[in-house]
Amino acid sequence: MAAIAIVIVSHSRQLAEGVRELATQMVRGKVKLAIAAGIDDPQNPLGTDAMQVREAIESVYSDDGVLVLMDLGSALMSAEMALEFLPDERRDKVYLCEAPLVEGAIAAAVAATTGSNIERVIAEAREALAAKAAQLGSQLSLVEDKGQKTNDRGQTKEIHLIIRNQLGLHARPAAKFVATAAHFQSQIEVRNITKGTEYVRADSINQVATLGVRQGHEIAIAARGTDADEALEALQALVEDNFGESDRVLESFPLTSSPSLSPDLQGIPASPGIAIAPAFLYCPTPVQLAERLSADPQTEWQQLQVALQIAKQEIRSLRQQTASQIGDSEAAIFDAHVLFLEDPALLDTVRQNIFERHLNAEVAWHEAVEKLTTTYRQLEDPYLRSRVADVTDVGQRVLRRLTGSNLTALELTHPVILVAPDLTPSDVTKLDPERVLGICMTHGSATSHSAIVAKTLGIPVVVGLTPEVLKLRDETCLALDGESGKVWIDPDEDTIATLQSKRDRVQAAKQKALATAQQPAITRDGKPIPILANISGIADAKVALNLGAEGVGVMRTEFLYLDRTIAPSEEEQLAVYQAIAQLMDTRPFIIRTLDVGGDKPVPYLGLSPETNPFLGWRGIRFCLDRTDIFKTQLRAILRASPGHKIKIMFPMISTVAEVRQAKAILAEVQSELRQANIPFDEAMEVGIMVEVPSAAAIADRLASEVNFFSLGTNDLSQYVMACDRTNAKVAALADALHPAVLRTIQQTVQAAREAGIWVGLCGELAADPLAVPILLGLGIDELSLNPQKIGEVKGAIAQITITEAQAIAQAALKLDSAASVRELVAASLGNNNL
């Protein structure tokens, strides 16, 4: 039985009992539920009683948390009064929630059975109306399609475009295409002219992906509605920008150096490298389904909606973690996973299974997903066929939520070669390359997202092996060559020696490349540019140093606060900061203070949903209000500083008063440490993030308050261009190479120069080699970026002089679009006579 308990407080006992019965049946009695409802007055039974509420809480109390849901009026007062009668240690574990009674109780109960913590259960209760809104919204849209849209949308407008990006409309560009189309009111459809397909819905990720659109194919996009012109213009811009992808040819594996050994098994090479280690068979038990007819389709639909919401949150969290660890490009595959869960065509099928065929939620979902995977498997294009793994990944995630089945954790005590039928992208993202030295699979393909992620992690992979590999015993010695697709079972000494020799040669080449990456980044005319890393924890710091980082340009400390029920203590934070400081030694280590809010909600900190979260209570604004949390973090940072080059950086600064207030709190903490004889770096530098236009506008005033600036171009771009970068309809406007953003950067750098302080840049722009000449030309002193891009950016710096960079930057400032800036840089770098 789930540990989290739920108490229902209502004026009507009959209502409360009905809600309890409904929730209990939904979760098969796996959650403790109690009611406190009505009063002992036959003439007037409606009412609530505080002592009854207290007794209900006590009857189901759990240290994991008790969620109290109330209907209205005095129910809230009774619940609040009941808390006063509880012991302090229990009162802190009871949460009053404003969620709707019926929907909230069901959503909370379902979430509790999945092992969610109390914060997640509360969040699910609060979002419970989303399911009803989704269904009604769908019904209303159907009415609109048959009514108003039919009458008012006008003529259908159509454009024809050629797809030029390397792999066509594969998952990531398809996700961008669908997300863009979905934000317009018009009815939008697309077809593959080259293959002669019929039109499909442009807001369906699966229908778009299965069109089989490849490089060179011509597509037709048709739009009909009030904003048809704007929709077609946005989609055309997306296609002409190659969906933000480069048009470079995909890397191929050189096979010239493969050892001429006869393998025991021959598969398909998917990620290069040699691995020799014991086998570890990983065959997760599939989710067990029991088909049953349901007499209450609405409840089944509600249960599915809750599972979908939880799955989306899990995927978004996974995307954020993946982006910080291996790069935003690889993490973008999870954008498609989210859209899969929102695919209206898929959800229509599930809805029919539930409401017309009366299937239970898990079987209705499973059948719809299986139908879709069959469609993918029947595609001619092998690259699109490999997307089956993504569909399966998302489908299984929802099924686990619906059935309460937990995925078997992969616990490894020593390095192994993982042997599995298949691995999903989610599976591979969680692998530790120091424990998983190689992967053998019977399914999959060299172009699957799982293989792409494994390659980024540096794990050799062979796919397409015969099923006999799954019959191996654990600890059987295996050897694999991910470059040739060969696998050896219990290899002899000669085979091992030959493979080790090749591995040593490859490793030597890698070490040579790493040695080059470890060298300083110096322009052709001899100016060194420090290249630092953006990190989120200790593991990132180790990777960054191995890849040539010269320090940490920003540690995103909010990751210490995620996936918890309470804020990390001073000692917990100190341990992390000290561990990273030890790794950095005397290299620069900039710690950004807590930056929550916006797209980084942390429920237990009391961050309520906001209409415009990016413009709301976030960053330094939150910390200045919650000085208890702020001072705890500052103490931990200061205590970790002796003997190291730690610097503090405040995020989301928009006024001089904020800087002064933050510095005053820092001074208080420093004074407290001095009084306690706790050492810290008295000369620690203090800087700010410049990511708000007002900060750039008053940069001259701010520069007199701090030791350095760090430009956060991700937020700065969206604020300068007045667009939400998480809104696909306008996200393309948030381009950091737009002259408006570049002029803001220039203004900030000039103010810093006049004040005698240095300026770094830690946004995604720093990882774009094409942006290097402009950033150097504008006078940026150091760059901080994703560790995976360090070598590439160092190489770009070595190819240019400061004089050339300044010329490019000045020309870029005079242009009128980001596209023209990119054309300028590309043309300039191709001109040897700069």
| 699 and 814 inside one domain | yes
Of 736, 723, 708, whose CA–CA distance to 812 is shortest?
736
C-alpha 832 chain-centroid distance = 40
CATH number of the domain bearing residue 372: 1.10.274.10
Domain membership of residue 610 (yes or no) is: yes
CATH number of the domain bearing residue 695: 3.20.20.60
| Residue 198 DSSP class | P
Domain membership of residue 780 (yes or no) is: yes
Q: What is the 3-state secondary structure (H, E, C) of 30-93?
A: CEEEEEEECCCCCCCCCCCCHHHHHHHHHHHCCCCCEEEEECCCHHHHHHHHHHHCCCHHHHCC
| 193 and 272 inside one domain | no
DSSP track, 459-523: --EEES--GGGGGPPTT-EEEEETTTTEEEES--HHHHHHHHHHHHHHHHHHHHHHHHHHSPPB-
Domain membership of residue 598 (yes or no) is: yes
| 111 and 60 inside one domain | yes
Tell me the CB-side half-sphere exposure of residue 466, using CA atoms within 13 A.
Answer: 9
Asked whether 690 and 658 are in contact (CB, 8 A), the reply is no
| 472 and 609 inside one domain | no
Q: Which domain holds residue 640?
A: 526-829
Residue type at 258 in one-letter notation: S
At 375, list the tokens.
């469609």
Asked whether 304 and 403 are in contact (CB, 8 A), the reply is no
CATH number of the domain bearing residue 483: 3.50.30.10
| 15 and 76 inside one domain | yes
Look at phi and psi of residue 595 and say left if phi exceeds 0, alpha if psi is from -120 to 50, else beta: beta
- pLDDT score recorded for residue 428: 86
Last residue of a domain, one of 403, 428, 456: 403
- Where b means 16+ CB within 10 Å and e means fewer, 314-346 reads bbeebbbbbbbbbbebbbbbbbbbbbbbbbbbb
Alpha-carbon distances of 715 from 618, 720, 764, rounded to whole Å: 12, 9, 10
Of 712, 632, 696, whose CA–CA distance to 666 is shortest?
632
Domain membership of residue 121 (yes or no) is: no
CATH number of the domain bearing residue 68: 3.40.50.510
Last residue of a domain, one of 382, 403, 424: 403
| 658 and 805 inside one domain | yes
Domain membership of residue 671 (yes or no) is: yes
Q: Residue 304: enclosing H or E segment and its boundaries?
A: helix 297-326
- pLDDT score recorded for residue 410: 75
Q: Where in the sequence numbering do the catalytic residues fall?
A: 449, 762
Contacts of 252-260 with C-beta under 8 Å, sequence gap 24+, read: 253/483, 254/483, 255/483, 255/484, 257/483, 257/502, 257/505, 258/481, 258/483, 258/484, 258/486, 258/502, 259/481, 259/484, 259/498, 259/499, 259/501, 259/502
- pLDDT score recorded for residue 314: 78
* Main-chain dihedrals φ then ψ at residue 440, nearest 5 degrees: -120, 130
- pLDDT score recorded for residue 164: 84
pTM: predicted TM-score of the whole model, two decimal places? 0.53
Last residue of a domain, one of 496, 518, 543: 496
Intervals of the chain under pLDDT 50: 137-153, 247-259, 728, 832-834
Domain membership of residue 503 (yes or no) is: no
Domain membership of residue 319 (yes or no) is: yes
Give the chain's domain count.
5
Q: Provide the edge-to-edge strand list for the sheet that holds 265-266.
A: 265-266, 486-489, 477-481, 274-281, 416-420, 436-441, 461-463, 268-271
| 460 and 324 inside one domain | no
CATH number of the domain bearing residue 179: 3.30.1340.10
Domain membership of residue 520 (yes or no) is: no
Q: Taking every pair of C-alpha atoms in the chain, what is the biggest distance, in angstroms?
A: 96
Rounded to whole angstroms, how far apart are CA atoms 537 and 653?
24
Rounded to whole angstroms, how far apart are CA atoms 669 and 648?
13
Describe the crossing of helices 627-639 and 570-584 by its angle, rounded to 10 degrees.
40
Helices (H), ranges, 519-655: 538-546, 570-584, 620-625, 627-639
Alpha-carbon distances of 309 from 4, 107, 110, 194, rounded to whole Å: 19, 10, 12, 37
- pLDDT score recorded for residue 270: 86
Alpha-carbon distances of 120 from 67, 111, 321, 377, rounded to whole Å: 11, 7, 18, 36
Instruction: Please report, to the nearest 10 degrees, the dihedral formed by the alpha carbons of residues 374, 380, 384, 389 taken in order.
Output: 40
| 328 and 469 inside one domain | no
| 393 and 430 inside one domain | no
Rounded to whole angstroms, how far apart are CA atoms 255 and 258?
6
- Kindly give, in sequence order, each residue whose CB lies less than 8 Å from that of residue 251, ignoring residues fewer than 6 positions away: none
| 680 and 548 inside one domain | yes
- pLDDT score recorded for residue 656: 97
- pLDDT score recorded for residue 589: 98
| 670 and 554 inside one domain | yes
* Main-chain dihedrals φ then ψ at residue 690, nearest 5 degrees: -100, 100
| 305 and 276 inside one domain | no
